[in-house]
Amino acid sequence: MAAQGIADAVQAYTGLSPAAAFTVGEITLEQLRAYDGKDPAKSILIAIRGQVYDVSRGRLFYGPQGPYSLFAGRDASRALALMSFDLNDLTGDLEGLSPDELEVLQDWEEKFKERYPVVGHLPGENGTAGAQPDHEAEKA
């Protein structure tokens, strides 16, 4: 997508790693699927509560051979809250979760924030759509 092209151009020009330059801005769940680690040239992305994390440096966890590859390119919110590997839980739908489960999710969110850069957000109220006018400009 366009953001990847820009990242590549920045890398070619500055010599900085793509990780330093890579952002996707607003990204749909469908677009997110392309970042599942199967293409080694692409970042691995995971969405949690509307935020999109670049977990590429956790490739051993999330890459195709990794124990948590099912989360790659997906919204892992519900799965993490429930500590579930059920594919049906790969969704941002938090309906019916208990306070304890929401706390588990929050702990995961904090861990991801410490370990991985946020490179984008999902559309809608869970994302931060509208809070980042620079991305509006990119879309035009």
Of these, 11, 61, 91, 132, which contacts ligand HEM (CB under 6 A)? Answer: 61
Span from 21-29, 83-91, 96-104, 118-126 in contact with ligand HEM (CB under 6 A): 83-91
- Give whichever of 3 and 81 is closer to ligand HEM, judged by the CB atom: 81
Amino acid present at 113: K
The span from the CA of 23 to the CA of 118, in Å, is 8
- Give whichever of 33 and 113 is closer to ligand HEM, judged by the CB atom: 113
Of these, 1, 20, 83, 102, which contacts ligand HEM (CB under 6 A)? Answer: 83
Q: Work out whether strand 45-48 and strand 25-26 pair parallel, antiparallel, or are unpaired.
A: unpaired
Quote the least distance from Cβ 140 to ligand HEM, whole Å.
35
Span from 13-21, 31-39, 81-89, 121-129 in contact with ligand HEM (CB under 6 A): 81-89
Angle at 62 between CA 110 and CA 102, to 5 degrees: 35
Q: Strand, coil or helix: what is 73? A: coil
58 within 8 A of 115, measured Cβ to Cβ:
yes
**73: contact with ligand HEM by CB under 6 A:** no
Q: Strand, coil or helix: what is 116? A: coil
